Chains A and B, each alone.
Chain A
Amino acid sequence: MDNEEWAIEVESGPAHDVEPLRDDGPHALALAHLFDQIVGDAYHARLGRLCYYGPEVMARELRLRADLTPGGNVTSVGVVVLDHLPEDLGHPQRIYWIRRRGKPMTSLGPEWKCLAETDVLTPKVQWWGIWIRLSGIFNRLDWLDRAMAKMRREFSIKGHGRGQYQLSIWTRSDPHYG
């Protein structure tokens, strides 16, 4: 494609031993939510590169979006990491930390501040999933459509919650860093 030279570059970090996220059904939608938010933020933060620590199979979704996104300064780097932070992160300007439910969040230290937290695939989605199954049993497609709309509306929320995935976006506390 013509824009490869100007797009945000995505490079895979060293091997990062975690299970891939599921990419079927609502999990595929969750991935889209997560990566849209990450690449959208990277664009507005004028990052030039994203360093990705996670299963290669998921990197495709990240690259798809980054390829369509003009890159900023090539020395401005964001780290996208799944579940646990690697010991050596380098010197990024941003950290995009995706955690599955139950995975602990460790402190990043005073040099980092959290800009945003998003809870994806929230418990309410599972509740609406019951309605979706009931609509199948009673053959009520109108219920199904209504439940699907409600489910999408409550699919992700701002803040820390009990969803299947949490995304936190971190920036340097010192605005003059780098």
Chain B
Amino acid sequence: MANSQEELRDLSPEEEAFRVRVTRAMLRLDDWFETMRQPEGYGGPVVHWWRHSLRYTGAAVDWRYEGILAGYARLAQSQNEWRWRDRLSRAMEDVRRSQTPEGSYRASRFEQNPGTHGTPHEAAASLGLLLALRSGRDDDWVRDVVGRNVDHLIAMYWDDGRKTFNDHPTQVGFVPNKLATLAETLIEWGMLVENEDYWVKAKAALDTVLRYQVNEGPWIGAVHQYAPKGQEGDGRFFPYYNARCVPALLKAAQVFSNPAYREAAEAILGFLDKSMLVNGSWPQVVYASGQVADGPRWVAGSADVLRAYWLSGRKVPERSFLRLLHGQMLSGAFSVAEGFAGFRVVPAWYDVMPVTGWNDKVLRFFAEWLGDRPLPVQEPQKMETVDGAVRIAGRQQARWVETPKKCELLARDGTPLYRWQKSEPWAWVDSPLIAEG
């Protein structure tokens, strides 16, 4: 990741101090991840812009495994320490054991868990497995598992008439950021099995991404979120999802020796520069009309945006990096967002939910950013109990508690509203309003 010259360079005291800060943050995050383990894998509730999955809290093989596998693989590769190899092996096993006979992964729909056939989640988990092999591992079974999953995805979503992938097995419609994740998986898989047929499909997916990139006007560089019926883009530009397109485009530029993909990635970064807010965050949606959906502004998820800058060789925006670090909670997890229910001093409880499928992005970014140098801090950092005021249902205040064993939302009089023992696959929810409000 970091080039060899960068690795040899002496760091200034300020740079060294910042590395210490990032390392400590990553080790605290790692300790928190350990509290999210269940026998079948990493569990926990999900909050998202589209909807939440707060009742089902069992293990799920969605995009959380992309960041967890890629992050621990990077640490296993760069640091000669058993704990990273151990975490990596265990996460790889989670994915293997979750595979269904048809090649799908169990509970792979993130905000729609515990559903299966999640896009881009299954491709993302397979990508995580492929990146795990980069750490020097040679697990033959990865070929079987990823091969079954990739062939299953192609069988379900490849549209032979349009020569690209739909987002649904029976409906025509494209989601560019999901196509980018799938393309990256197909590129890696094609390299591993030395079969260029997969590259043909990866190029087709990325060419669809390019088709929905704006070429002129105020939103030049931005990529539409969705193209219903495979026709025009929908005029919604999500900075976060735009950033998710960048790694695949950069990889394709390199593997296929095609500068057009790099230019597309650079244009997306131009849109990210333009849409960045003063505090280093990004709005949720910028509409072609100029309207903006301001919140929620991702905190943990912003690691994917910072990673897009970093992969492109640009400087990671400092205020965004500091904002991300500031978003770490006492538990070691990073808050999901700010502004799920408006921007006030007391956060909404969705803002502070501990979500593995957002925090994996932070783990991966930090592990890659820290590079091959030995970590300046070695000793584990322990999670601490979170106990603070949150808002529910608008202005009403409640108390949010997270310990290594449980999460609880309590009304002001102490009445439980939501309770999740971290070892359990279902949370107890007092009211649907709590789950969806």
Q: Do A and B associate with each other?
A: yes
**Contact yes or no, B293 A155, CB < 8 A:** no
B421 nearest in chain A by CB position: A44
Give the CA-CA distance A118 to B434 in the complex, in Å.
13
User: Is there a chain B Cβ closer than 8 Å to A58's Cβ?
Assistant: no
For chain B, what secondary structure do more than half of its interface residues adopt (helix, strand, loop), or is it mixed? Answer: loop
C-alpha spacing A32/B50, complex, angstroms? 15
**A residues 1-54 touching B (CB-CB < 8 Å):** 1-3, 29, 32-33, 36-37, 39-40, 43-44
Contacting residue for B432 out of A43, A118, A145, A146, CB 8 A: A118
A141 touches B51 (CB 8 A): no
The reply to whether A43 and B426 form a contact with Cβ atoms under 8 Å apart is: yes
Which A residues lie within 8 Å of B430 (CB)?
Answer: 158
List, in ascending order, chain A residues with CB within 8 A of B234's CB. Answer: 141
Contact of A33 among B114, B236, B432 (CB under 8 A): B432
Closest-by-CB residue of B relative to A61 is B115
Q: Is the CB of B432 within 8 A of A32?
A: no
11 example contacts (A-B, Cβ-Cβ < 8 A) are as follows: A1-B98, A36-B55, A37-B432, A40-B426, A40-B429, A68-B425, A141-B236, A141-B287, A153-B433, A158-B430, A158-B432
Contact with A along B94-131 (1 / 0, CB 8 A): 00011010000011000010111000000000000000
Q: Which residues of chain B have C-beta atoms less than 8 A from A68's C-beta?
A: 56, 58-59, 106-107, 114, 425
The residue from A32, A64, A70, A153 contacting B425, defined by CB atoms under 8 A apart: A70
Interface hits, A103-134 → B, CB 8 Å: 118, 120
CB <8 Å contact, B56 and A65: yes
- Chain A interface size band reads 20 to 34
A120 contact set on B, CB distance < 8 A:
432
Closest residue of chain B to A148 (Cβ to Cβ) is B50
Q: Which residues of B contact A40 (CB under 8 A)?
A: 55-56, 426-429
B contact residues vs A (CB 8 Å cutoff): 40, 51, 55-56, 58-59, 97-98, 100, 106-107, 112, 114-116, 234-236, 285, 287, 289, 291, 293, 424-433, 436-437
- Shortest CB distance A160–B (Å): 13
Further contacts, 4 of them, CB under 8 A, given A65-B114, A142-B293: A29-B51, A145-B285, A157-B431, A158-B433
Tell me the chain A residues, 61-111 only, with Cβ under 8 Å from chain B: 64-65, 68-70
Tell me whether A141 and B432 are in contact in the complex, defined as CB-CB below 8 angstroms, given that A43-B425, A68-B114 are known contacts.
Answer: no
- Given known contacts A36-B55, A158-B432, A158-B433, is B114 in contact with A142 (CB within 8 Å)? no
CB distance from B123 to the nearest CB of A (A): 21
Interface residues of A (CB under 8 A from B): 1-3, 29, 32-33, 36-37, 39-40, 43-44, 64-65, 68-70, 118, 120, 140-142, 145-146, 152-153, 155-158
Assess the A44–B426 pair: CB atoms within 8 A. yes
B112 engages A32 (CB within 8 Å): yes
Cβ-defined partner of B289 (8 Å) among A3, A29, A39, A142: A142
A158 to B293, CA, bound (A): 29
C-alpha gap A62/B100 in the complex (Å):
17
Collect the chain B residues with CB atoms within 8 Å of residue A29's CB.
Answer: 51
In the bound complex, how far is the Cα of B417 from the Cα of A158, in angstroms? 13
Q: CA separation between A157 and B285, bound complex, in Å?
A: 28
* Bound: A32/B66 CA distance, A: 26
State whether A155 touches B285 (Cβ < 8 A): no
Residues of A within 8 A of B236 (CB): 141, 145
CA distance A70 to B58 in the complex (A): 10
A70 to B426, CA, bound (A): 10
Nearest chain A residue, comparing its CB with the CB of B56: A36
A155, B432: Cβ atoms closer than 8 Å: yes
Q: B106: which of A1, A118, A141, A146 is its contact (CB, 8 Å)?
A: A1
Bound CA–CA A132/B287 (angstroms): 16
In the bound complex, CA of A142 to CA of B236 (Å)? 9
